[in-house]
Amino acid sequence: MKRLSLGLTVAILHSACANEVTDENESDTAGTSEEETQTNTIAESQLTEREEAILQGVHNQSLIFDYTVDSSYDTGAVWIEKYEFGEQTEWDIMHVSMEITGSDSGYIVFTPAELYGTEDQLLLTVGISTGTSSHYGTTSDSLPDLGTETDEDGFSENTIWGTSSNQTIDLTSGEIILGSLIAASMDDGLSTLSSGFYTDAEENREEIEEYEAIYLIKAEFTKESEE
């Protein structure tokens, strides 16, 4: 199950999250007032038990975020940046964008997996969906040799996940950091990035300067007039 094809993996994610968006829309129609609806925001998805079980069967690690935008936004983008000891290695190692005109909600997903037949290669997938259509991209990247055992998914024991927060994030301010994957050989263990890093990465850059590798998942929603 852990080595299902990429296409099938994304199809399962799309099906699970599209159902969630449909349920939310039906709930809004049934009785949620306009004032209660938070527009132009993004938050970590609250999956149902069934959706969590489906994802667990494919990958132990997935980050999924639900977004809601008004009609003035026409493009959504998500990408991955890699840093080594605080320095960015490439502008972005994977970038995906799509037109979101005519849709007011959808989701963003980030899923890593062990590249079949290797012990130190990650297959990184990012995608963005409107609930009815989606764009996704994938790339492979080498994990640093951390001198530790790996689990059944190919991740070193010295890796840790983190997200911006469990709260709703305003996406009108431009580029945002949604989550991170850290890989480092720290004797005293790893800690997730602070909430301050997600809101101001440059001011808190020292938090990532000791890490062999860190992947940041970023997103941005833009209007035609801003492009």
Rounded to two decimals, the pTM is 0.79
Q: Render the burial of 158-175: b for 16+ CB within 10 Å, e for the rest.
A: bbbbbbbeeeebebeeee
pLDDT band for position 35 (50/70/90)? Answer: very low
In Å, what is the CA distance from 122 to each residue of 118, 130, 161, 190?
9, 27, 15, 20
**What pLDDT score does 111 carry?**
85
**What pLDDT score does 69 carry?**
93
Given a contact cutoff of 8 angstroms between Cβ atoms, the answer to whether 43 and 71 are in contact is no
Whether the per-residue pLDDT at 31 is higher than 60: the answer is no
Query: What is the C-alpha separation between 194 and 52, in angstroms, rounded?
Result: 26
Query: What is the C-alpha separation between 96 and 183, in angstroms, rounded?
Result: 24
Report the Cα–Cα distance between both ends of the chain, in Å, rounded. 41
**What pLDDT score does 6 carry?**
47
Whether the per-residue pLDDT at 15 is higher than 80: the answer is no
Residue that wins the pLDDT comparison between 109 and 33: 109
Given a contact cutoff of 8 angstroms between Cβ atoms, the answer to whether 212 and 85 are in contact is yes
What tens digit of pLDDT does each residue of 103-157 get?
Answer: 789 999 998 876 655 667 788 889 999 878 889 998 888 877 765 555 555 455 6
Given a contact cutoff of 8 angstroms between Cβ atoms, the answer to whether 195 and 178 are in contact is no
What tens digit of pLDDT does each residue of 36-48 get?
Answer: 458 999 998 876 6
Beta-strand relationship, 87-88 and 73-84: antiparallel
| Torsional class of 137: left (φ above 0), alpha (ψ -120 to 50), beta (otherwise) | beta
Q: What is the dihedral of CA 162, 200, 41, 216, to 10 degrees?
A: -40
Residue that wins the pLDDT comparison between 96 and 4: 96
Beta partners for 42? Answer: 67, 169
Q: Where are the domains of the chain?
A: 6-226
pLDDT band for position 34 (50/70/90)? Answer: very low
**What pLDDT score does 227 carry?**
54
* Mean of the per-residue pLDDT values of the chain: 76
Please enumerate in sequence order all residues whose Cβ is within 8 A of that of 47, keeping only pairs 6 or more positions apart, or say none: 16, 20, 55, 64
Query: CA 168, 171, 177, 179 torsion: positive or negative?
Result: positive
